[in-house]
């Protein structure tokens, strides 16, 4: 059975229920969002099935999905970092959080580190704009006042992760 076979099977039911309706190629983004919300990431298998369902090549689907920072292509790591990309946080940034994370953790949004310990995701407003710029490390939130502060936080996280805390 296909991982997302229910998307095809449910087409009629979905169109009469509260679930997102499938009508054509324009449904790609909402379906990708639905899969990510359900599974936590967009697998190769789900890209293939979406391609069959909507009549779009897997290359095109991957291209569209990778254009948006919010989609993950592998499961979240033990330490999952969310970077708020909402406008409230964005305007308060004085440096690139993504570039510092790439330097410190060797990954960018949508990636998981080779050792499986860290993953990063860009997200919309996390609801505390007055504290921004904001990141969340698993369920813990941090206000990032400076580049130095971010490097210190990442250093502590790496140390804790190595120690198994
Ligand atoms: S914009 Fe970042 S918390 Fe609202």
What's 115's domain CATH number? 3.40.30.10
| pLDDT score at 19 | 55
- Across the 165 residues of the chain, what is the mean pLDDT of every consecutive 10-residue run? 49 54 75 85 88 88 83 86 93 92 92 89 89 93 95 94 77
| pLDDT score at 5 | 45
Give the chain as a 3 state SS string.
CCCCHHHHHCHHHHHHCCCCCCCCHHHHHHHHHHHHHHHCCCCHHHHHHHHHHHCCCHHHHHHHHHHCCCCCCCCCCCEEEEEECCHHHHHHCCCCHHHHHHHHHCCCCCCECCCCCEEEEEECCCCCHHHCCEEEECCEEEECCCHHHHHHHHHHHHHHHHHCC
Q: What is the CB < 6 Å shell around ligand 1? A: 84, 86-89, 125-129, 132, 134
If asked whether residues 84 and 159 sit together in one domain, one would say: yes
If asked whether residues 133 and 99 sit together in one domain, one would say: yes
* Residue whose pair of structure tokens reads 């509260």 in the numeric block: 18
| pLDDT score at 72 | 82
User: Checking DSSP bridges between strand 79-84 and strand 118-123, what pairing results, if any?
Assistant: parallel
If asked whether residues 104 and 60 sit together in one domain, one would say: no
Q: Is residue 131 part of a domain?
A: yes
Q: Is residue 74 part of a domain?
A: no
Residue 30: give its domain's CATH number.
Answer: 1.10.10.1590
| pLDDT score at 150 | 97
The residues pairing with 79 across neighbouring beta strands, listed in sequence order, are: 118
Indicate the top mutation candidate among 69, 84, 122 to test ligand 1's pocket, ranked by most ligand atoms within 8 A of CB. 84
Range of the domain at 45: 5-67
If asked whether residues 34 and 91 sit together in one domain, one would say: no
- Total domains present in the chain: 2
Question: Cα(20) to centroid of ligand 1, in Å?
Answer: 27
Q: Is residue 25 part of a domain?
A: yes
If asked whether residues 50 and 112 sit together in one domain, one would say: no
Residue of 73, 84, 161 lying closest to 117 (CA atoms): 161
Rounded CA-CA distance 105/98 in Å is 10
Q: Is residue 72 part of a domain?
A: no
20 within 8 A of 31, measured Cβ to Cβ = yes
């Amino acid at each position: 059975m296909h991982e997302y076979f229910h998307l095809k099977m449910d087409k009629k039911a979905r169109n009469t229920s509260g679930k997102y309706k499938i009508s054509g190629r324009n449904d790609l983004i909402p379906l990708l969002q639905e899969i990510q919300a359900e599974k936590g990431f967009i697998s190769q298998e789900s890209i293939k099935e979406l391609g069959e369902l909507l009549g779009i090549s897997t290359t095109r689907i991957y291209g569209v999905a990778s254009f948006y920072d919010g989609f993950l292509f592998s499961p979240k790591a033990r330490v999952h970092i969310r970077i708020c990309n909402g406008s409230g946080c964005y305007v308060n940034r004085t440096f690139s959080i993504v570039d510092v994370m790439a330097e410190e953790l060797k990954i960018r949004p949508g990636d998981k580190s080779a050792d499986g310990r860290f993953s990063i995701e860009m997200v919309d407003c996390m609801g505390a704009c007055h504290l921004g710029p904001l990141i969340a490390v698993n369920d813990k939130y941090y206000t990032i006042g400076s580049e130095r502060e971010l490097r210190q936080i990442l250093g502590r996280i790496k140390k804790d992760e190595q120690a198994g805390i």
